[in-house]
Amino acid sequence: MYSVVILAGGQSRRMGRDKAFLDWKGRPLIADLIDRFRPISDDVLLIAPDLKPFQGLHARLVPDPSPPVGPLGGLWSGLLSARHEWAFAMACDMPLVDPRVVAWMFEQRGEADAVVLLDNQGRPEPLHALYRASCLNAIASALACGQRAMLAFYPAIRVRYLPPSAWRLVDPQGRSWRNINTPEDWKRLQEEIP
């Protein structure tokens, strides 16, 4: 079993409005994401700097560190609060995230501290990844040094990278970690998905 940590602390500048509350299938995107993971995890957490807009959702609400230090700080808060040794961390702007892909990733963990997909260009997808609680010290050290990049702590942990040749077996088009950043992205996605 693993926890699910949904990071909802972004500014949504390019979108022009809070992506967590975009209308997805007649309800807020964030509510759909939370409910999608509730059947497979007894510990769904939502991390944000301001928790008031998220009251009433079926997730444990956990504040971002203060002052905010970006998604790496949100990941730290989520792992610190998670009830399980492992947590799946994701951004709130991934409407096609598939719990079956996450379950497959969890099966690949072995002795790693993190399980991270590589995109088609070989770049890591740190906000559609599994992290073990053992990452907390490495994240805290990176933050203490003023590093905010999501990959800043990777050199200090054991990462199991899953290349396209592996993940295409469960997600042939790589849709699970597709995120939306702009109104154009959102419109395109809605046209593709009935």
Please write the tens of the pLDDT for every residue from 73-89: 999 999 999 999 999 99
If you average pLDDT over residues 5-25, what whole number do you get? 79
In this structure, the strands spanning 159-162 and 114-118 are parallel
| Structural domains of the chain sorted by starting position, each given as residue range(s) with its CATH number in brackets | 3-192 (3.90.550.10)
Q: Is 7 annotated as a binding residue?
A: yes
* pLDDT score for 92: 93
Q: Is 113 annotated as a binding residue?
A: no
Share of the chain above pLDDT 70, in %: 95
11 falls in which pLDDT band (50, 70, 90)? low
Phi-psi region of 164 (alpha: psi -120 to 50; beta: other; left: phi over 0): alpha
> Which long-range contacts (C-beta less than 8 Å, at least 24 apart) are formed by 142-149?
142/72, 143/65, 143/69, 143/72, 143/73, 143/76, 147/72, 148/69, 148/70, 148/72, 148/73, 149/72
If you average pLDDT over residues 125-154, what whole number do you get? 98
Q: Is 8 annotated as a binding residue?
A: yes
Q: Is 10 annotated as a binding residue?
A: no
What φ, ψ does residue 43 adopt, rounded to 5°? -145, 85
Q: Is 149 annotated as a binding residue?
A: no
List the single range of 46-50, 51-55, 65-69, 92-96 with lowest mean pLDDT: 65-69
Gap between the Cα atoms of 106 and 159, Å rounded: 13
Q: Is 9 annotated as a binding residue?
A: yes
* pTM given for the model: 0.94
If you average pLDDT over residues 101-113, what whole number do you get? 98
3-class DSSP state for residue 38? coil
| Helical (H) or strand (E) element with 30 | helix 29-37
